[in-house]
Structure formats: structure tokens, C-alpha cells
Amino acid sequence: MKYLYVILSFLISVFCQGQDLDGYMAERDLVEVSAMDTTLRVDLVYATAENFLGKAVYSGITRAWLHPDAASKLLAAHRLLKEEHPGWRFVIYDAARPMSVQKKMWALVRGTDKTNYVSNPANGGGLHNYGLAVDLTILDEKGMPLPMGTPFDYFGEEAHTNNEEALLENGRITRTEYGNRRLLRRLMRKAGFRSILYEWWHFNACTRQEARQSYPVID
């Protein structure tokens, strides 16, 4: 039985890599969030080589997909943003991610100092693999990202969320950047998301335990 599972997982991975993954995501009952709110912006960083991996790992994903439970929370947070700051928008850098893509990413970081930033697929992956995590930031009325102290995908202490007061005191982030991060977290948390310690841009719609107990992984 174990070997049958391994073979099936491999075949699904091969199939997904060579097919229209947008169609595959729709078949898994995920929802395209920008179709639900056309003011959301999408810039899938891992569909290009302009990311910390230095390589495009998405082939066939051109839209941002989420589980409906996560999508409803994201839309609620976006409404809150627009109520407070008309003209500002979220831009999504990453959303649902098939396990086949997770395996590609892990293979690229294995044995490097980046392993802390990619969930090991052998351990069940991360919440992106359930459609329950989103990476995003805020755009101003001119379509420019608000300054957050670091770019997306910057994996240094300045991107951490657990010591921002010290970063501010030491001049490693500015008061404006500090305030922008707090705004993003407040909106996302009010809508039901959880932030994480090492990436100001990453938000989970539930805990890892809840995901594994109640939601299917995206093969």
C-alpha cells in the first residue's frame, strides 16, 4: 500500500507539472480570488526567476488560488483596507501551491541556509499546500508597494515580526515601515489570519494542525 501511494504521488506530480495547473486548481475546488474581487492585484513571484530561488518554479499557474475558507478571510481583509484607505489594494505574491511545486522548491534549497524558509514536503509541507496561506503586501493609490523595511522574500532579521520594536529603535526599519507592517497585520488578523515570526508578508488562515485535520493537501 505504501509503494502504491508513492507511485500515485509521483504520477500526480508528473501530470501536474505538464498540465494547466490553473485548471487543476479549479478542479480541486479552490477559488480564484482576483475573480471574486477584481481590485485585488496578483503578481506571482514564483512564476518568474525574480525570487530568492533564482528560478521559476510555477509552470501553468497564472492566477492566485485559495481554499474558499481562506479566500473569504482575504476578501474581508481587503474590504477593511479599502474602507480605511480608498485607492489602496492588496497585491498577492503567492497563494495555493501544489505539493509538486513544493518538492521543486525544497530540492532547490536543500543543503543551503534557506531550508528554514521552505516547508519540507516529507513533513507534509506548509499551509500554502492546502490553499490556506497567502503572501501579500499593500499597494498605494499609484500602484506602488508600501515600504515595509525589506522586499518580499528577504530572509534576514529585518523581515522578522517578533522584534520590530528593536529594529525600529536600532534604525534598521523606519517609523513608516513599522507602521505599514502593523497596518497589514492588523487587517489580516481582524479577518481571521495568523502572522508568522520570520516573514512579515506571510499569513495563515488556520494552524498547521487544523489544516492537516480538516483540509485536503493539494497534490
Q: Would you give per-residue pLDDT tens digits along the chain (219 residues)? A: 444 443 444 444 444 444 588 999 999 999 999 999 999 999 999 999 999 999 999 988 999 999 999 999 999 999 999 999 999 999 999 999 999 999 999 999 999 988 988 999 999 999 999 999 999 999 999 999 999 999 999 989 999 999 999 999 999 999 999 999 999 999 999 999 999 999 999 999 999 999 999 999 999
Cell matching residue 119: 516547508
3-state helix, strand, coil in the chain (%, to 5): 45, 10, 45
Q: How many domains are there within the chain?
A: 1
Establish if 27 belongs to a structural domain: yes
The CATH number given to whatever domain includes residue 51 is 3.30.1380.10
Establish if 36 belongs to a structural domain: yes
Residue 18 to residue 12: CA distance in whole angstroms: 10
Beta bridge partners of 41: 91
Residue 111 to residue 124: CA distance in whole angstroms: 19
Domain with 9, as residue range(s), is 2-214
Establish if 40 belongs to a structural domain: yes
Q: Tally helices (H) and strands (E) across the chain.
A: 8, 7
Establish if 219 belongs to a structural domain: no
